[in-house]
Amino acid sequence: MAGPPRAGRRLHAVAGRIREEDIALVRERARIDEVVSQHVTLRNAGGGSLKGLCPFHDEKSPSFHVTPAKQFFHCFGCQVGGDVFDFMMRIEGLTFVDTVERLAGRYGVQLRYTEPDAPGAPRRDASQRPRLLEAHRLAAEFYVSQLFDSPDARTARQFLSERGFDKDAAEQFGVGFAPRTGDAIYKHLRQKGFREEELVTGGLVGQSGRGPYDRFRGRLLWPIREVSGEVVGFGARRLFDDDRIEAKYLNTPETPIYKKSHLLYGVDLARREIARRKQAVVVEGYTDVMACHLSGVETAVATCGTAFGEDHGRVLRRLLLDHEQFRGEIIFTFDGDEAGQRAALRAFQGDQQFVAQTYVAVEPGGLDPCDVRVQKGDAEVRELIARRVPLYRFVLRNVLERYDLDRADARVDAMREAAGLVASVRDRSKIDAFARELAGMVGLDVDEVRAEVRRSAAARSAPRRAPSDRPSYHPSDRPGDGPGAPPAPDRPDVRDPRYAAEREALQVVVQHPHLVGEAFSELGDDDFTHPTLAGVRRAVEAVGGPGAAGSAGWVSVLRERSEDEYAAAALSALAVEPLRISGEPGTRLADALLARVQELTALRRIEQVKSRLQRTNPVEEQTAYNRMFGELVALEQHRRALRERAIGSGL
């Protein structure tokens, strides 16, 4: 599990690069809810906060919060949090500089650099991603123009029209044609100022003994985009018999921007409909995605040259989230043939978290959605999807079909094999319903099937441990404990009123620094019983106290100055958690909360002095006794003054 980002990394990343004012402007303009929404479906969580399924750890109910007013996110499950830059860096695997450049481009901020690169000098690796994305954008444009202008592309256009795609359809999906010459894209992009290494790194160009060559030659191309709509690679269909590469489909290799394990063709187009209809349809090919969308199934996506895996599932689930729980449907279209059955069985035995919401749409004649559309029309494609059956039923049926169920002994064998599958379902609450259905399918008594499922489950459960969601964490609880992490502070007792008071005081410091003022300087390390919270106080002190808070980026500044990742994680939690009070907090409340923390410290000291007084003989140790007594009186006075201020803190 990933821990929170390391505090302080940003200072190093930025040194001598983008001007601070520009970074602040990007942070202000790049709305965090908008940026996060491209990856995670968010819903209202009340108190000006939004929530969704965390993209950084696997969970069933949302603990990932975004607070647009504070431009902050925090996951109470895995403790990852931060501002819009932290989110982008983490989800896209970008450097800080890349992130700023990318968001600046998207939100129209002109960046200025304090140390511009020397003329002609290669740009630093840190800004590689925007260059690769730009190269792909231009390449996609170029390929599209070739499809309609180049005489060579006739075969490609014919391929499309045979499959029922006209010019409009090709344009809608950005389909293009890679010329056969072998150096067309290389020359085109070199002319636009890209270096050979960049084109090779991006997977557009390959290198051989005879020099650079276009990776895609004489092929029909589909641009593969991120959820955000940026082209990161291509899928290419063979068209000519003399193509030296035999593979029917060729994809961009793994590059810094192309990760096939989570890319889904069409997801940029399907994103909104997936969230709206709470349905995602997974088809097998690029033409199937096109056929589905054109037929009105606008939730269709396809993997890109790889089987559907857990990362793909996570991408879809994040888009499908609705209400507290995942309720959407993921529908796979499989061939009715053996390969399709194997694929379904794999899906069933693989990541089962949502097995009950997984469906299969099978065309009895073995046609894929593209063929269905050509041969039977749009309505039939919609029908195919509507006729979906639950995955478990499809898989059980496939097992039973291999047996002659007219024979009593075969019925028992069939039931045994199928019961093994039912027993493998991790969601225990579903097993009984599945067993009942199996009994009906095979024509045996329900109790007999149940008994077999139990036997099978017992046989398999012994050495295995069911994976469970991490228990929900209280903020400032330990974040990750991966290698290299500093020793985690003890788990705080969240019901401890002292801990609650300390947290709330820091919450107001983090969320409303302008209300706090000088009172903060009265706090010291010994006012905090939990080391993480003491670390947060030191971070605030290190940046010059709440008075140093600017208009934007206050929490980010604090996180950068945190001594460890625990304090950094606690800071983002403190920033997103709503204050207990309703309405706008004022200076009075802020002062009360800070005074309350000090009052509790004073009470602690009073207890200590009283205890020492009890152990001191007033006659034999008169001087010490009187000194302590004086101390006690002073402490009591101090405490009463704090009590006055703390009234209204509600604690």
Q: Which is nearer to Zn ion, 78 or 422 (CB)?
A: 78
Sequence-distant (≥ 6) Cβ neighbours of residue 93 within 8 angstroms? none
Rounded to whole angstroms, how far apart are CA atoms 389 and 393? Answer: 7
Which residues, 109 to 168, sit near Zn ion by CB under 5 A? Answer: none
Q: DSSP assignment, residue 504? A: H
Q: Which is nearer to Zn ion, 90 or 136 (CB)?
A: 90
Q: Which is nearer to Zn ion, 77 or 513 (CB)?
A: 77
Q: Which is nearer to Zn ion, 89 or 381 (CB)?
A: 89
Find out whether 258 and 304 touch, Cβ atoms under 8 Å: no
User: Shortest Cβ distance from residue 324 to Zn ion (Å)?
Assistant: 16
Rounded to whole angstroms, how far apart are CA atoms 100 and 201? Answer: 22
Which residues, 67 to 96, sit near Zn ion by CB under 5 A? Answer: 75, 77-78
Cα dihedral 107, 109, 111, 112, rounded to 10, equals -170
User: Shortest Cβ distance from residue 320 to Zn ion (Å)?
Assistant: 17
Find out whether 275 and 41 touch, Cβ atoms under 8 Å: yes
Which spans in 259-337 are helix H?
Answer: 267-277, 286-295, 310-320
Strands 358-363 and 329-335: parallel
> Strand order of the sheet with strand 64-67?
43-46, 49-52, 64-67, 72-75, 81-82
Tell me the sheet residues that pair with 176. Answer: 221
Residue of 89, 133, 302, 148 whose CA lies nearest to 233? 133
Q: Which is nearer to Zn ion, 54 or 232 (CB)?
A: 54
Q: Which is nearer to Zn ion, 57 or 188 (CB)?
A: 57
Q: Which DSSP string do the residues of 361-416 spell out, in sequence order?
A: EEETT---HHHHHHHH-HHHHHHHHHT-EEHHHHHHHHHHTTS-TTSHHHHHHHHH
Q: Which DSSP string do the residues of 515-584 spell out, in sequence order?
A: HHGGGGGG--GGG-SSHHHHHHHHHHHHTT-GGG--SS-HHHHHHHT-SSHHHHHHHHHHHHSPPSSSS-
Q: Which is nearer to Zn ion, 61 or 145 (CB)?
A: 61
Residue 632 burial by CB count (10 A; 0-12/13-18/19+): exposed, middle or buried? middle
User: Shortest Cβ distance from residue 317 to Zn ion (Å)?
Assistant: 13
User: Shortest Cβ distance from residue 140 to Zn ion (Å)?
Assistant: 34
Annotate each residue in 25-64 with x if it binds Zn ion (CB under 5 A) or - if it does not, as one string: -----------------------------x-xx-------
Tell me the sheet residues that pair with 178. Answer: 219
User: Shortest Cβ distance from residue 436 to Zn ion (Å)?
Assistant: 36
Annotate each residue in 494-533 with x if it binds Zn ion (CB under 5 A) or - if it does not, as one string: ----------------------------------------
Q: Which is nearer to Zn ion, 77 or 546 (CB)?
A: 77
The footprint of Zn ion on this chain (CB under 5 A) covers a number of residues equal to: 6
Q: Which is nearer to Zn ion, 41 or 279 (CB)?
A: 41
Sign for the CA dihedral angle at 28, 29, 34, 39 comes to negative
- Cβ count within 10 A of residue 434: 24
Tell me the sheet residues that pair with 18. Answer: 113
User: Shortest Cβ distance from residue 78 to Zn ion (Å)?
Assistant: 3
Rounded to whole angstroms, how far apart are CA atoms 355 and 361? Answer: 15
Task: Calculate Rg over the CA atoms of the chain.
Answer: 31
Q: Which is nearer to Zn ion, 57 or 262 (CB)?
A: 57
Q: Which DSSP string do the residues of 6-37 spell out, in sequence order?
A: PTTHHHHHHTTSB-HHHHHHHHHHS-HHHHHH
- 322: helix, coil or strand? coil
486 sits in the region (left: phi over 0; alpha: psi -120 to 50; else beta) called beta
Strands 279-283 and 329-335: parallel
User: Shortest Cβ distance from residue 3 to Zn ion (Å)?
Assistant: 11
User: Shortest Cβ distance from residue 470 to Zn ion (Å)?
Assistant: 9
Tokens of 131: 């260059």
Find out whether 282 and 332 touch, Cβ atoms under 8 Å: yes
- Cβ count within 10 A of residue 364: 8
Which residues, 386 to 425, sit near Zn ion by CB under 5 A? Answer: none
User: Shortest Cβ distance from residue 471 to Zn ion (Å)?
Assistant: 13
Q: Which is nearer to Zn ion, 203 or 480 (CB)?
A: 480
Q: Which is nearer to Zn ion, 75 or 575 (CB)?
A: 75
Find out whether 166 and 103 touch, Cβ atoms under 8 Å: no
User: Shortest Cβ distance from residue 56 to Zn ion (Å)?
Assistant: 5
User: Shortest Cβ distance from residue 327 to Zn ion (Å)?
Assistant: 20
Q: Which is nearer to Zn ion, 63 or 146 (CB)?
A: 63
Q: Which is nearer to Zn ion, 90 or 503 (CB)?
A: 90
Q: Which is nearer to Zn ion, 54 or 449 (CB)?
A: 54
User: Shortest Cβ distance from residue 6 to Zn ion (Å)?
Assistant: 17
User: Shortest Cβ distance from residue 576 to Zn ion (Å)?
Assistant: 13
* Residues near Zn ion, by CB under 5 A: 54, 56-57, 75, 77-78
